[in-house]
Structure formats: structure tokens, C-alpha cells
Amino acid sequence: MYKKARAWLNASPPRTLAIGFALIVLAGAVLLKLPVSVRPGYRLGWLDALFTSASATCVTGLTVVDTGVLFSTFGHWVILVLVQVGGLGFMTMGTLFAIFLRRKVSLKERLVLQESLNQGSLEGIVRLVRKVITYALTIEAVGSLLYTLRFLSDMPAGKAFYFGIFHGVSIFNNAGFDLFGNYRSMAAYVSDPFVNLVSIALIFLGGVGFVVLADLVEFPKRRKLSLHSKVALSVTAALFVAGAALILIFEYTNGKTLGPLSFGDKAVAAMLHSISPRSAGVSTIDIASLRQATQFLMVWLMFIGASPGSTGGGIKTTTFAVLIVAVLAVVRGRQDVVLFRYRLERERVYKAITVTIFSFALVMTATMILSITENHMFMPVLFEATSAFATVGLSTGMTPELTDAGKLIVIAMMFIGRLGPLTLFYAVGSKPGRTLYRHAEGKIIIG
């Protein structure tokens, strides 16, 4: 019995990855439940501790309790460590310790790393991990320093340094946790271009993917970008510009959001809320006060999400790009799906379609269940379900009011969203085998 259980646990990298993340979530819940993690006079239930741990490990940022008010300094550091481990991946962190201890990374560990970083081969996987760690720590350090310098004018030096580190790590990892309290995120800085632009930069760097970052760093020497980097950067830029323009148009006269701001502040706020739904969860305006058109636009931005191999969620920018060019190929009557003059394998197109359908089905199922368990209108429920799946963390205010059943649904969605629906499917199911035969061709009418 023991051997069978052990064989099942070690059967595949996706299974190892899923179990590892689950254990980290449980360990985080236990640590957050400790009396030292909560400020005197406050209490934290087991389910709320599990929810917070899952949200931090899955770098989401949805909160059922006020992070800045309820948790102590120890609790904040537990959340920050969970965010760091969840953002970079526990296998990446484990490989970091192995490198420090000069221990050889085994083939099994390399396979799990390959699954964790969403890479197509094992070649150079450890070298990529070194780059991931270097880039992440460097960007987090710079972001934390910039935040600290800004916060020094609003709070004592010690608190400014503390807030700078927490928000630098949280926002780069697209987690969305903040310490400002009252569930207002960074609303106090809606008219501060420095904080907004630093946040936009951190969200972009955290969400574009470490493979793309490596390409950008090496671009001056190589003078070329990979196809993956071209697609990720192009879609990211297009969604950022289009999203910002539409948000600015939709909310320009909304007195509860962008209306009272100057044109410059409106433009900066629109840019932040265009890139934030791509998995960051940072906001400077009240999401519940946005017009429904804007909220629905954000649902689409959240569903698309960040790029592969990043700290973000969603179906990913490259998946969205493959779907678009596949549709265009069909409309134009072409057999090949082409991106930047490269023909894509049919397996890539099939995978993009599968990921999108799985993800859409999960969001719709969660939305239907939450519509039953929660006493809210459809749009906030859809927004919440999509935010959880895409590990975004934005909310219309529904999260603190979730029922116990609703919390469990959202926890499951955050977990699935962080792992990826296909990874979880491979972890639970049997290892896919190769078919040794082909069926006779049949024809059905489409459209």
C-alpha cells in the first residue's frame, strides 16, 4: 500500500507540483493561525487562514480579512514569504538552496522545474533558474527602494522601509497584497504619478515572463528576440494600450472613479488599471464604482492574464495570440497558423484551444456555484470568479462577504489558476499515452 501511494505521488512532475503547492498552502495556513501572526484583540478562523495562505501562495491577493489591520509583523512576513515562494515557484526556491549547498539537481527535479517554468525542454533549465532568481531579486530590490524613498515623506523611516519591501515584493510577484488597510489598496496614491509608474513597471516586469526578461537583457548582445518574446511583448503592449484607452473613455465622466481627477491623473490611473487586471490586483480607484462596461472589460483582461513563465495567471498572452491567428487563418482559408512568419505546430493550436475551453468552463462553473452560495448580482460574482482563477486579486468588495462555501470555491479557483488547468488535469489523471492508430476520417457540418 505504501509503495503504491509513493509511486502515485512520484508518478509525474505535474503531480509533484500540485502536491508541493498544496503542502505550502497548508503550512502557510498553520503559520497564519498561530497567535503570534495576529495582532492582540483579533482572531483568525482556520478557513480564513487557509484562504489567506492560498491567496498568498497562488499570488492572487484576494482577502477575506484586512491584511494591514489584522495581521502582526510576523503574519505579514509569513504572507510575504508565501508570495515569494508562490511567485517564483517552490521548485525554483528549492533549486536556489541546492545551488547554495552545491548539490547536484537531479533529473526528477529538473523535470518538475520544466513543468513549473512552463518550458519545452530540459536544456539550460538550471541556468534559467539562476536567471529567474537574479532578475527577481534585483527587480524587487529596486522596486522596494523606490517605494521606500516615496513613503519616507508619508511615514517614519522604519515603517517606510517595511512598507517599501512588502509592496515591492508583493507587486512584482503580481500578488496584490497591501498594508494600507480598509481594503482600499493604493487609493491614497491615485494622483501620485511616481507610485503609479513604479507599480506599472513592476507589474509589467513580473507579468511578462522570465524567458522574455532574459531575452531583453541579452538583446543588446544578440540583437534578436525569440518568437515567444515577440508574441508576449506584442500582445502585452496591445492589451495595455487598448485597455487604457477604453478605461479612460468609459470612466472619463464617472464622478466616483476618474471623473474628479485631472487629465494627466486620469491617464495614469487608466494605464494602471489596464495592466493591473492582467494579474496584479493593485488599484487606486474603487472597483465597485466602475461602470459595468469597464468591469466587463477587466473580466476579459483578467481572463487573458499575463505571459507564460511569469508570476501571473490567466490563459496567458501567447494562448490568446494563437487563438486570434488561428481564427484569422480559418477566415482567410489558410491551412497554416502563422505568427511573425513562423508556422505553428497544430499541437500548439490544439493546446491553446484546450486551455481556453477548460479555463472558460471553470470560470463559468464557479460563477454559477457562487451565484447560488452568495447573495450578489451576476457581475460581481463573475468578476470574483475570474479574478480568483486568473490570480488577479481585484474585487468589487465581495471577497470579505463570502460564505464558507464561497471561500472554498474561491480557494479552489486560485489553486487551479496558479497551477494551470492542464497541469492539474495531468496531475489528477493518468499519464497521457501515444495513440498507435488513427480512426477513419469523418465529416460534420460546422457553422
- pLDDT range class, residue 8, cuts 50, 70, 90: very low
Q: Report residue 188: phi and psi, to 5°.
A: -65, -15
Confirm if 353 and 330 have CB atoms less than 8 A apart.
Answer: no
The pLDDT value recorded for residue 444 is 77
What 3 state SS string does 173-202 have?
CCCCCCCCCCCCCCHHHCCCHHHHHHHHHH
The pLDDT value recorded for residue 3 is 53
What are the cell numbers at 237? 503592449
The DSSP symbol for 309 reads: T
Instruction: List the Cα angle 59/62/63 in 5-degree steps.
Output: 120
Share of the chain above pLDDT 90, in %: 49
Task: Give the Cα separation of 205 and 202 in Å (integer).
Answer: 5
What are the cell numbers at 275? 495592466
The pLDDT value recorded for residue 363 is 95
CA dist 233 to 239, 244, 314, Å?
10, 16, 16
CA 288, distance to chain mean position in Å, is 21
Buried b (16+ CB within 10 A) or exposed e, 360-390: eebbeebbebbeebbebeeebbbbbbbbbbb
- pLDDT range class, residue 17, cuts 50, 70, 90: confident
DSSP string, 323-390: HHHHHHHHHTT-SS-EETTEEPPHHHHHHHHHHHHHHHHHHHHHHHHHHHHS-S-HHHHHHHHHHHHT
Instruction: Please choose, from the candidates 292, 251, 298, the residue with its C-alpha nearest in 3D space to the C-alpha of residue 278.
Output: 298
Whole-model pTM: value is: 0.89
Task: Give the Cα separation of 228 and 357 in Å (integer).
Answer: 22
What are the cell numbers at 422? 492542464
Q: Note the pLDDT tens digit of each residue in 382-407.
A: 999 999 999 898 999 899 999 999 99
Q: Note the pLDDT tens digit of each residue in 168-221.
A: 999 998 888 888 878 788 888 999 999 999 999 999 998 888 888 888 888 888
Task: Give the Cα separation of 425 and 420 in Å (integer).
Answer: 9
CB atoms under 10 Å from CB of 432, counted, come to 9
Give mean pLDDT, residues 221-249.
91
Q: What is the Cα Rg of the chain in Å?
A: 22
Bridge partners of 71, per DSSP, are: 38
Confirm if 282 and 272 have CB atoms less than 8 A apart.
Answer: yes
Instruction: Please choose, from the candidates 288, 286, 278, the residue with its C-alpha nearest in 3D space to the C-alpha of residue 391.
Output: 278
Q: Note the pLDDT tens digit of each residue in 81-91.
A: 999 888 876 55
Q: Note the pLDDT tens digit of each residue in 267-311.
A: 999 999 999 998 788 899 999 999 999 999 999 999 999 888 787
As a whole number, the mean pLDDT across the chain is 85
